[in-house]
Amino acid sequence: MTMVAIFSGAGISTDSGIPDYRGPDGMWTRDPEAERLVTYGPYMADPEIRRRSWRMRLDGPVLHARPNAAHHAVAAFEKSGHALRVITQNVDGLHQAAGVPERKVLELHGSARAVVCTACHARSSAAEALERVAAGEADPPCLECGGILKTATVMFGQNLDPQVLGQAMSIAKATEVFIAVGTSLQVQPAASLAGIAAEHGARLIIVNAEPTPYDPIADEIVREPIGTALPALLERLR
């Protein structure tokens, strides 16, 4: 049985109403200042940055988003009995919401659906924290120790979890087909997974609207919209 790895970036979730970051209409493209709201140093040092960051998450689309056709196609591919692993740069949890088992999804950048205390490391639901924000706590502290809370995501300025990255590299080395979908393949070290997969003999397929640095080594490049292109590609791989 062919092992398939899907490496997904922000582009797979734009049809769910979550804007990407660096595309023509991306979050950072439209508002470069917004990047500070998810950068660890400013977030920890400045209560005003934290207040704005919580407000951005409260008003944002992530927790209300639903899986789209691309997410459902990935889940259907897994359910049909194929050997599949999903490595995602996204923090929206939409692969799992579509039905891909938790154990088959590696979240390189963590999850926006949970929050963690930066002092005592207690973990709890993001929905609960955002209910506190909506009720008037502009910068809700940890209920366990009073420490600074943040979403359980890897912010700019933080390192990826080495264990999660190690698992992702092992998958990239072992897979026979590596599909990079909706990712610019520019953020390292995550982007290097495409190169690692190709070096170890995987067929590299890139599904992305814009060119990526790994296009020259790809076996196939698809520029069609992800919502139709990925379901068609996975149907072909069956």
Q: Which amino acid is at 149?
A: L
Q: For 192-219, b where at least 16 C-beta lie within 10 A, e where not — what string?
A: bbbbbbbeeebbbbbbbbeebebeeebe
pTM for this predicted structure: 0.91
- Contact between 220 and 177 under an 8 Å Cβ cutoff? The reply is no
Mind listing the pLDDT tens digit for each residue in 114-170?
A: 999 999 999 999 999 999 999 999 999 999 999 999 999 999 899 999 999 999 999
Q: What is the pLDDT of residue 22?
A: 58
The strand ranges marked E within the chain are 3-8, 83-88, 105-107, 110-117, 123-125, 149-153, 177-181, 203-207, 220-222
Residue 225, preceding peptide bond in cis (omega within 30° of 0): no
Per-residue pLDDT, 28: 54
Confidence of residue 21 (pLDDT cuts 50, 70, 90): low
Quickly count: other Cβ atoms within 10 Å of residue 147's Cβ: 16
Query: What amino acid positions are annotated as catalytic residues?
Result: 109
Q: Domains of the chain, with CATH numbers?
A: 1-18+66-109+159-238 (3.40.50.1220), 22-60+111-153 (3.30.1600.10)
Given a cut of 90, is residue 185 above it in pLDDT? yes
CA dist 219 and 24 (Å) reads 26
**Phi/psi at 16 (nearest 5 deg)?**
-90, 5
Q: Across the chain, what does the average pLDDT equal?
A: 93
